[in-house]
Amino acid sequence: MLTVAETFVSIQGESTYAGLACFFVRLAGCNLRCTYCDTRQALAAGHEESVDALVTAAVAARTPLVEVTGGEPLLQDGFRALATGLRDRTDATVLVETNGSRDLAVIPEGVIAVVDVKCPGSGEGGSFDPANLARLRAYDEVKFVLTGRRDYEWARGFAADHALFGRCRAVLFSPAADRLEAELLAGWMLADRSAARLQVQLHKMLRVP
């Protein structure tokens, strides 16, 4: 059994898979409290659902993409069984979004990790488990949510120091909503000829869940 905040179908708004229809399983509970958190509903107690029921719902959704998110989904003991079931029983590409503080080794092969490295402006800087760098796979993605120039420079340095562009499929720089304008971030990235990918929250632009 898993504790679930909500399930829903929407347009995937983040990662290199943005724009695809996606069935989301949002698990309840998180070990971090980011200053810009936009899913506070996941911090409250959720409802119990079985792995089988969640996988059956994902199959019925018939979307090309399925994502397990939170909160922090890796906190729950049933996460691996859910991710494995979604991988094996659906035709969808399966993603998991995680805050980077938990052991990525619990994510099954073939399930794509979108790993958030928390910058200082998040209020949770230092929460990333450095051992996860060695656990990244070639098809995983790493995301930095940036609140300003200090975060940008920190993320740029972290990506360079740890050779992220050679470790994973994509490095994503995302402006925090109401904290940093995308146009300003784009200008910094262009000036630096950054190899990172600018990511905006497409689902918010479209005003879908």
Reduced 3-state DSSP string for 8-77: EEEECCCCCCCCCEEEEEEECCCCCCCCCCCCHHHHCCCEEECHHHHHHHHHHHCCCEEEEECCCHHHCC
Higher pLDDT, 38 or 105: 105
Strands 141-146 and 93-98: unpaired
Average pLDDT over residues 47-56: 96
Query: Can you read off the two tokens belonging to residue 137?
Result: 């796979």
pLDDT band for position 42 (cuts 50, 70, 90): low
DSSP string, 180-194: S-HHHHHHHHHHHT-
Tokens at 102, concatenated: 């938990």
207 has a pLDDT exceeding 80? no
Q: Which amino acid is at 19?
A: G
Reported confidence tier of residue 208, pLDDT bands at 50, 70, 90: low
% the chain with pLDDT above 70: 98
**Of 78, 71, 21, residue with least CA distance to 54:** 78
Q: CA-to-CA distance for 110 and 104, rounded, in angstroms?
A: 13
How much is the mean pLDDT over the chain? Answer: 93
pLDDT for residue 209:
66
At residue 41, does pLDDT exceed 80? no
* Structural element, H or E, at residue 146: strand 141-146
pTM of the predicted model, to two decimals?
0.93
Q: Sort strands 2-11 and 47-49 into parallel, antiparallel or unpaired.
A: antiparallel
Domain boundaries 2-206, CATH class: alpha beta
Mean pLDDT, residues 153-167 taken together? 96
What gap in Å lies between CA 149 and CA 83, rounded to an integer? 36
Burial level of 60, CB count in 10 A (0-12/13-18/19+)?
Answer: exposed
86: pLDDT confidence band, cut at 50, 70 and 90?
very high
Domain boundaries, the chain: 2-206
